[in-house]
Amino acid sequence: MNGASPSMDARLHYDQVLLIHPLGYSGEIAKYDISRVANIMPPLGLASIAAYLGKNNIDVTIVDCYAKPDSDAFIKDHLQEVFPEAENASKLYYNAMAFS
């Protein structure tokens, strides 16, 4: 599919998607950010994407790090549960977070 090798294709889950609304700054700082707490809104763009995907039989999980800044452990656990063959998925996630 799309030029991917057959061995790569066999490991991908085309029926499961994880959508993340990023916090954008440190979770430790977020605890004390009163403007974040006062302005929490659901991620409507991600919800719209999830609704479309759901209608097409794709299982979607949305993680709203803005509303729940301590979501890192959930994301890591979710990736390991849903994609156990992707041993480095959580490492990639945490490397990406280090540069954000």
Q: What is the pTM of this model?
A: 0.66
Is residue 7 included in any domain, yes or no? no
Does the residue 33 lie in any domain?
Answer: yes
Q: How many domains does the chain have?
A: 1
Its domain, for residue 69, covers 13-99
Is residue 5 one of the residues assigned to a domain? no
Residue owning tokens 């998925």: 89
pLDDT digits over 52-98, tens only? 999 999 999 999 988 888 888 888 888 778 776 666 655 555 555 55
Q: Does residue 3 lie within any of the structural domains? A: no
Answer for the pair 65, 22: CB distance below 8 angstroms, yes or no. yes
First vs last C-alpha separation in the chain: 31
Burial string for 9-39 (b: 16+ CB within 10 Å, else e) reads eeeeeeeebbbbbebeeeeeebeeeeebeee
The answer to whether residue 1 is domain-embedded is no
The reply to whether 40 falls in a domain is yes
Is residue 78 assigned to a domain?
yes
